[in-house]
A = this chain, B = another copy of it.
């Protein structure tokens, strides 16, 4: 199965699974959770499913941690889009939750999606108790105040900082904001099989950073219609980005280097990991 086909299949499977998981969430917050959890590229969930496939883990087990990371990512977008944060009205081509409903519903739907992520990671269907406990603990660390939230906080602080961030600071920021969840996703399949996740972690860290550099390039060069979100905001806010620090060509070269590092890290898996390599290449070629 080619990368495109595998990514589409993962997106279809995740959409169906999240719809089932969210079916019994009542009320307006349930509606908002379904809205926020719908759509998207499902790259993080795809990483879980591909990493699981590489290790011979059946998809009916891997779909649970894949849904967990997609719920976690969806919550982070809902909160990130709030007026007090990035103040975005468009996400995945749809109105953001606080625009479609209101801020209180967006806060609560995001909160409930984070709880749902931990529910999905610890469901009995995932596997042994040791696996469920370890996935939840590592997910908590990846998502929390020393992981994703720290990256988001550094991002917010950068908007009002007296001096623009340095390259090292932006790299650290993105390692938290994107890298932590990417790494958890890629490692999950190896952990589910009791295997060593190191190669997949190295892959995911390089991939995650390339993905963010590509985001900065898209923010300058992309089409809002294709991206399904507002662009050009970082430049307008005078924020340092990989593009402002490295230039467009320098940023492209750095992203290409990282994609090569990511691909090389997968050497132990040989040709079986070609979809994961294509995922990293896709990260810097995408329009959305």
Contact = CB atoms under 8 A, between A and B. Distances in A.
Nearest to A103: B84
B84 A104 contact: yes
Contacts of A129: 128-130, 132-134
A115 interface: yes
Contact of A145 (B104, B112, B130, B145): B112
Contacts of A134: 122, 129
Interface in A145-188: 145-147, 149-150, 152-154, 156-157
A149 B108 contact: yes
Interface string A119-149: 1011100001110111011011101111101
Interface residues on A, range: 35 or more
Number of copies: 2
Contacts of A75: 111
A127 to B, nearest CB: 10
A107 interface: yes
B132 A115 contact: no
A62 interface: no
A115 B33 contact: no
Nearest to A107: B79
Contact of A153 (B27, B132, B133): B27
Contacts of A144: 112, 115-116, 119
